[in-house]
Structure 1
Amino acid sequence: MHISQVDIEDKMVWGPTKSGEYSVKSGYRQALTRQFPDHSRPDPDWQVWKRLWQIKIPPKWISFVWKCLHNILPVKTELKKRGMPIDIICSRCFQHAESLEHLFFDCPISQRIWRGSTLGLDFGVGRPLSFFSWFQGWVQQIHDSEIVIHSIALLWAIWMQRNSVEFHRVEVSIERSIMFASELLTLFLSPLHNVPYEISHSSSSPQPSFVKQVILQTAKPCIATGPRMRIVVDGFWVAVGEHAGLAWVFFDSDDHRVYEEAILGPSMLSPQQAEAVAVLHALRWAVHSSINHLLLQTDCLVLLLLLHHHAQESDWSLQSILADILSLCKSFDHVVLQKVDRDMVHAAHQLATDVRLFA
């Protein structure tokens, strides 16, 4: 340490950081490096993780890929290793044990999904030794982020199909899985959905602004501050082409829960479509009940964004539904659609779940 020749006040500094301020992160890193000297060497797999964190995908997709890369996704062989008394045979092909590699690459169903997609991948020759080796080679060779996102969407569609078959006894459908992946990509890659997924907790950085609500109808602005009725909506979606549960719970101006209804809706292509149809049914009920000042609450940010932009960039499966919603809103004096947290729609979600499961 350099000793200054100038008479200045002494102060304590922490050397490992540029600012001289101690942090738990830097302290942990120093302790780890001293105990394990090799830890400070560059990780040859670091580029894989760096690329993963840079991909602009929903947090649940990142978590899903992270679990796959660490081989902790709850496939049957992993559950068996952890002591669960289960049959490890793949529930889609009934030919081999359901490992991570079998589920996504070796299963004939998955191979047909990959070949049927626009990626046109063929794992019949030289299939990857592990999920990690596949992802490592994939992200290093492919620089088009949309192709990487497309592959992750297909992986997610395969996982969702597996869960639908395993837990809901849904019939295996190659076409539905490909349509599901395409639907996700259409929604996600739309310019309307280019919103931040993480909020910085640092007071020095600006907070991103999310659209919290959208006014769908204001025929009489003067009553916007008056008492209004509230309807919480939710759609329970299982798989592409399957019937969805639709529910809404009505609260009066004193916030008393006075009415609730759940119905089994038609087949749906996405959870966003199920949520939009639930909103449409709730609006129809409100018109029939002569309600003219309404607050609709949903936990679907995508639906809010689409209606905020007047459905200009929505895909074909949502355009007609959104048009009906906007048209029906003209029957009211004032309608607001508000984005709320999942726990705020718990009552409607439970109703939608029950009507779907027990239909």
Structure 2
Amino acid sequence: MPPALWMKLWKADAVPQCCETAWRACLDILPVRSILHRRGVVGNPCCPRCSEVEETVHHALFSCPLVRMIWFASPLNLRFDEEGSVHDFFLSFLATADTNIAGIFLAVLYSVWQARNELLFKWKDSSIDQLLQRASSLRPSRVLLDDGPRAVQVLPSSWSRPLSGVCKMNIDASVTSSKEAGAGMVMRNNHGEVLAAATTELGPVLSPVLAEALGMRWALRLATKLGFRRIWIETDCLELYTFWNRQGGEFSHLATVVFDCRSLLPNFDVFNFTFVRRTSNGAADALARLAFHYGCMIWIEEAPSEITSITQDDVLASMAPS
């Protein structure tokens, strides 16, 4: 890992033990059962949580089914669907995350590891809420779940209405196992009424975040074509959101697509771009998956029947007192 990224890891907004655990994970030296089994220390290499597969560092921290639930419930709302390289993930994540996001990530990571050890050695099982509450205490600025006056608001778990006169556009992308990508978008007003919905196939992509960026560019072009000039975009892709807020200077396909997106902003009188939980982005997520069925399709002042129940639930949720 480049020295600048190591420095970013150690300067993240989290207490030192969080950074140390991440550092050991990157070097693949956490004492997980697969490593201890190879050294003859333990006889069973399987995960103590799920008992289904060999416990690697990636499995223990990210891809165990029980751990995936923790990451999805966290403020970052991350999804880890398959085994991979911990080092490569950190390389990609730290390149785009700011100090605040990196701190939240490391605090949850350490809490996942700590909870695993308590289960294994003390037979103590923690709920997801307890684990995330513990993570909040591991951050100097306490931005996860703190109830104090300086707390940063936790991301809402459901869709919220935009201000009057502004249209909210939720976007998402979906990538198949063969790397084919599709995208979906839905535009709604402050009453929750669908103004437009659309799907499109994006073709083969190199990475999920590139699919998200291509989907955003397509959605911005479509919004321009349909005459929407005051928009609020929501994405559940943290990597795209953090990349968007970075300073320029990078040369990559992703950077080129993001530059294209920025070049479209003069078409709008009002523009806002925010990151939300996946549970707040259900309609766009469903549309992205439907892209492989519908292809390039646009609905005006209506939506496909497959997402009607989602948009109705969003409206009801947005009416509930906070």
Q: TM-score, normalised by structure 2?
A: 0.50
The 3-state SS of whatever aligns with 1:55 is: helix
C-alpha distance in 1 between matches for 2:226 and 2:24: 41
Deviations 1:20-43 (A, max 9, x none): xxxxxxxxxxxxxxxxxxxxxxxx
Identity, in percent, stands at 17
Higher Cα Rg, which structure: 1
Q: How does 1:118-137 map to 2 (within 5 A)?
A: none
- Code of the residue aligned with 2:271 in structure 1: it is V
The 3-state SS of whatever aligns with 2:285 is: helix
Matched, 1:257 2:194: yes
Matched, 1:71 2:42: no
After TM superposition, the structure 1 stretch with the greater mean CA deviation from structure 2, 199-208 or 347-356, is: 199-208
Matched, 1:342 2:266: no
Cα pair 2:32 2:56 within 8 Å, conserved = no
- Code of the residue aligned with 1:318 in structure 2: it is L
Task: Give the structure 1 partner of residue 83 of structure 2.
Answer: 159
Matched, 1:54 2:29: no
Q: How does 1:1-359 map to 2 (within 5 A)?
A: 54-55=21-22, 71-72=46-47, 100=54, 159=83, 184=89, 186-190=91-95, 192-194=97-99, 195-196=102-103, 197=105, 198=107, 200-202=135-137, 206-208=141-143, 227-239=165-177, 242-313=179-250, 316-356=252-292
C-alpha distance in 1 between matches for 2:136 and 2:34: 28
Higher relative contact order (CA 8 A, sep 6+): 2
Structure 2: where are the runs of 5+ without partners?
A: 1-16, 36-44, 61-79, 108-131, 144-150, 156-161, 296-322
Cα pair 2:164 2:190 within 8 Å, conserved = no
Task: Give the structure 2 partner of residue 42 of structure 1.
Answer: none
Structure 2 vs 1, CA of residues 243 and 193 (structure 1 numbering), >3 Å: closer, same or farther? farther
The 3-state SS of whatever aligns with 2:83 is: helix
1:192 is displaced (CA, Å) by 4.2
1:238 is displaced (CA, Å) by 3.2
1:305 is displaced (CA, Å) by 1.6
Cα pair 2:98 2:242 within 8 Å, conserved = yes
C-alpha distance in 1 between matches for 2:204 and 2:167: 30
Cα pair 2:172 2:284 within 8 Å, conserved = yes
Cα pair 2:96 2:243 within 8 Å, conserved = no
Cα pair 1:228 1:253 within 8 Å, conserved = yes
Structure 2 vs 1, CA of residues 242 and 295 (structure 1 numbering), >3 Å: closer, same or farther? same
1:355 is displaced (CA, Å) by 2.6
Deviations 1:83-130 (A, max 9, x none): xxxxxxxxxxxxxxxx74xxxxxxxxxxxxxxxxxxxxxxxxxxxxx9
Cα pair 2:175 2:208 within 8 Å, conserved = yes
Structure 2 vs 1, CA of residues 256 and 358 (structure 1 numbering), >3 Å: closer, same or farther? closer
- Code of the residue aligned with 1:282 in structure 2: it is A
C-alpha distance in 2 between matches for 1:317 and 1:74: 39
1:350 is displaced (CA, Å) by 1.3
C-alpha distance in 2 between matches for 1:57 and 1:188: 16
1:55 is displaced (CA, Å) by 0.9
Structure 1: where are the runs of 5+ without partners?
A: 1-49, 80-98, 101-129, 136-155, 161-177, 214-223
Task: Give the structure 1 partner of residue 301 of structure 2.
Answer: none
Structure 2 vs 1, CA of residues 231 and 67 (structure 1 numbering), >3 Å: closer, same or farther? farther
Cα pair 1:212 1:338 within 8 Å, conserved = no
RMSD over aligned CA atoms reads: 4.5
After TM superposition, the structure 1 stretch with the greater mean CA deviation from structure 2, 254-263 or 187-196, is: 187-196
Q: TM-score, normalised by structure 1?
A: 0.45
Structure 2 vs 1, CA of residues 342 and 330 (structure 1 numbering), >3 Å: closer, same or farther? same
1:249 is displaced (CA, Å) by 0.8
Task: Give the structure 2 partner of residue 172 of structure 1.
Answer: none
Cα pair 1:296 1:336 within 8 Å, conserved = yes
Q: How many residues align?
A: 202
1:233 is displaced (CA, Å) by 0.4
1:207 is displaced (CA, Å) by 2.0
C-alpha distance in 1 between matches for 2:210 and 2:152: 21
Deviations 1:257-280 (A, max 9, x none): 232111111211222111111111
- Code of the residue aligned with 1:238 in structure 2: it is T
C-alpha distance in 2 between matches for 1:204 and 1:287: 41
Deviations 1:189-227 (A, max 9, x none): 4164552213743499532488999xxxxxxxxxx9762
Cα pair 1:311 1:322 within 8 Å, conserved = no
